[in-house]
Amino acid sequence: MRATRPAGLGLWFAVASAATFGTSGPFAKSLLQEGWSSGAVVLLRVTGAALVLAIPTVMAIRGRWALVRRNLGAVAAYGVVAVAGCQVSYFYAVQRLSVGVALLLEYLGVVLVVLWAWLRTRRAPARLTATGMVVALAGLALVLDLAGQARPDLVGVLWGLLAAVGLATYFVIAAHDSGLPPVALAGLGMGLGAAVLAVLGAVGLVPMHFSSAGVRLLGRTLPWWLPVVELALVAAAAAYLLGVVAARLLGSTVAGFVGLTEVLFAVLFAWLLLGELPAPVQLAGGVLIVAGVVCVRLGELRQASRDSAESIRSAEDDSDDSDDSDDSDGSTSPDFPLPAGVA
């Protein structure tokens, strides 16, 4: 009964995280259309989120600085790659593609996690997982619409795939229980990501263009600061914090599975706020990508369940001093062990 309540709570956190993440594309695109650069949007978004989380972060890590020092690598990867890098790449993709197509490309990061584990362990994924990868890649071909009229911008596609790398990093790091409280990981990551972006912008490596012109949302002109506040408070601070908590309660496999609803939320918000929908063939490709990622997640869940059962049986055999321990070494090895932190 104790495990059921955190899992149910984690499910709500995951859905809320997906919904808040889904608002980022439409609100960011309203700024990009008025001359803002992707770096500028992300810098304000991440800086605002870091400021909101600053006090809770300090309170969470007070007296635990040694823990922070031990996890500097994870915090750096989370802030630079999973937060700043992923967002900048996604917003560059949104500049050239529809919000839905850009997000579908980003969600191929789930497949990248599987490919990374495959290369790292040299063990092929389970059949259902491999099938999901093939289906997702088939969906990618439809989203790109290589032979049709809705063919997207190639540069935008490359930015979307780079965002997928950031998303894969996010899922792996967020699920790793390093001992850092979720608010500390989110707050420190946001702060570091903002600092890196500011430095890159100051030296001219990341363009920083701002505008005070009004933005178009819901068919009317609204002040520029409205989407900035939404991106910082809702689509960044709340979204990342909810996502880390969900991954800790559910594991990254289930959290990532539920997180797929972000695609639905993003398409819905883009339609309501910007009047934007992908082409029919791209929507069909999106269905395949989502179906493929679902298969990947189900395959991981099945493998994790089998691994857990085998581990329990192995522990029971050891406690009984069984003479079959040598035989169990070969049989308990999973066909596709998941990367660290992915359950």
Cβ contact 341:250 at 8 Å: no
Residue 257: its pLDDT value, please?
Answer: 67
Q: How many other CB atoms sit within 10 Å of the CB of residue 193?
A: 31
Closest CA to 11 of 256, 185, 304: 256
Q: What is the DSSP string of 86-129?
A: HHHHHHHHHHHS-HHHHHHHHTTHHHHHHHHHHHHH--PPPHHH
Q: What is the DSSP string of 45-71?
A: HHHHHHHHHHHHHHHHHTT-HHHHHHT
**17 Cβ partners below 8 Å, 6+ apart?**
239, 240, 242, 243, 246, 259, 262
Cα angle: 242, vertex 245, 249; to 5 degrees: 135
Residue 315: its pLDDT value, please?
Answer: 65
Residue 1: its pLDDT value, please?
Answer: 45
- State how far the alpha carbon of 207 is from the alpha carbons of 36, 41, 122, 259, 322, in Å: 10, 11, 40, 30, 65
Residue 36: its pLDDT value, please?
Answer: 93
Closest CA to 29 of 17, 21, 37: 37
Residue 208: its pLDDT value, please?
Answer: 92
Tally the residues of the chain.
343
User: What are φ and ψ of residue 339, in 5° steps?
Assistant: -65, 160
pLDDT tens per residue across all 343 residues of the chain: 445 556 677 788 888 988 998 898 899 999 999 999 999 999 988 898 888 888 888 998 888 888 888 888 888 988 899 888 998 999 899 888 888 788 888 888 878 887 877 887 777 777 888 888 888 888 877 777 655 556 678 899 899 999 999 988 887 786 676 778 878 888 898 899 999 999 999 998 888 999 999 998 888 899 999 999 998 888 877 887 788 788 778 776 667 667 777 877 888 888 888 888 777 887 888 888 888 878 877 777 777 677 667 777 766 666 655 545 444 443 333 333 333 233 2
Q: How far apart are CA 308 and CA 304, in angstroms?
A: 6
